[in-house]
Structure 1
């Protein structure tokens, strides 16, 4: 084979590889756009005025809007911390309205490693648990000696029964549940170190369920405090 022929063949191989990688990148972008559109459709089926207010943070997409007259925020977070066995995709659902508590109450299920979605590890004070809390839950606060209506909170933990709810956060400015949507595909992550979650999509029914749970909890806490006052 002549040097010219060899050069032409090498050039053709390089061009084919460049075109193939460009096709893969375009396909990946198209799939990501379709997935985002599907998620937004599910969110807007529940939060009709939801607006994408993402700030460009990698792996994080944020929507804000109103539901039943309350301000809400929904966020998806891809957690790729090296301490996790597999990357995870979380759904954070919040009602950002005032709550009658004077400090942060944070309940984390099986807090074995740091997370990208929570400040739980930075809260200094662990709370004793009242009856009714899951055995795997750890409670923390930012202020020692603060009392919380744990009996009321324990009565609104139905969403934590199946193991996918990870965190319940209660602050003076709102309430939040973080839910595990999916873990990355083990084979693809093991070989290519890519956090791929298959065809997993956000379910509008799940969003509604979490918002209803948060709303009932917030109402119960506020009503209890008004009765005490």
Structure 2
């Protein structure tokens, strides 16, 4: 969609479409505030869902001082097309401050993450539309529910139409800011500990 590219470029002026041809997935990469970033939309039409959904994935693709994959998923009751959460083998106990509906997983047993620091940066999840926070040594990603398909059209025609659910530049900016602030806080703590 031309409107999506315009909205992405209003926040990430040098955004290039780097989509790989996966159906329903559009990916743009560029730079924002001196950091490499990716903005992606994913149309999820898994049969296990009541309605198809359109997700917005926003990532800072710069190094993060964490010892492995940390994945926080909100209400993980069914498989997702945008995440490997279901394949992560170890569930982490939560410290105080994480949303009640959050489940934490990692790829490595016995590693320590700065959970108190991460929990202090989860306010974007309070609205109920943020779905995932992924932190890896390669970056930070936040996944947000943009829209669910129009029920009547999907019920009759099996078409996943999302009306005018475009990408709001202010939302992209807000999610990039949240991911960047968290990444900087983790890296700053790691430097202070060294």
TM-score (norm 2): 0.99
Aligned to 2:167: 202
Which structure has the higher relative contact order (CA within 8 Å, separation 6+)? 2
Cα deviation for residue 198 of structure 1 reads 0.6
Matches within 5 A, 1:167-182: 167-182=132-147
Task: Provide the rounded CA distance (Å) in 2 between the counterparts of 1:206 and 1:104.
Answer: 25
Give the match for residue 15 of structure 2: 50
CA distance in 2 between partners of 1:222 and 1:83 (Å): 38
> Is 1:125 aligned with 2:78?
no
- Matched with 1:83 is 48
Write 1 or 2 for the structure with the bigger share of helix.
Answer: 1
Q: What is the Cα-based RMSD across aligned positions, in Å?
A: 0.4
Q: What is the CA distance between 1:209 and its match in structure 2? A: 0.3
Per the alignment, in what secondary structure is the counterpart of residue 186 of structure 2?
Answer: helix
What CA distance in whole angstroms lies between the structure 2 residues aligned with 1:62 and 1:115? 17
Aligned length: 194
Which residue of 2 is the match for residue 37 of structure 1? 2
Q: CA deviation at 1:68?
A: 0.6
- The 5 A counterparts of 1:14-33 are none
The separation in 2 between residues aligned to 1:171 and 1:51, in whole angstroms, is: 23
Aligned partner (choices 154, 157, 173) of residue 122 of structure 2: 157
TM-score by length of 1: 0.84
Q: Deviations over 1:125-172 (max 9, x none)?
A: 000000000000000000000100001001101110100000000000
- The offset of 1:81, in angstroms, is 0.4
Give yes or no for the alignment of 1:98 onto 2:74: no
More strand by percentage: 2
Is residue 158 of structure 2 the alignment partner of residue 193 of structure 1?
Answer: yes
CA distance in 1, matches of 2:66, 2:25: 28
Q: Counterparts of 2:184 and 2:77 in 1: how far apart (Å)?
A: 31
Q: Report the CA distance between 1:51 and its aligned residue.
A: 0.4
| SS of residue in 2 equivalent to 1:189 | helix
Alignment partner of 1:219 out of 180, 184, 187: 184
Q: 1:40 offset after TM fit, Å?
A: 0.7
Asked if 1:66 is matched to 2:31, the reply is yes
Q: Which runs of 4+ in 1 moved over 2 A?
A: none
Unaligned regions of 5+ residues in structure 1, if any? 1-35
Measured in 1, the distance between the counterparts of 2:148 and 2:121 equals 26
Unaligned runs of 5+ in 2: none
Q: Distance in 2 between matches of 1:209 and 1:74?
A: 12
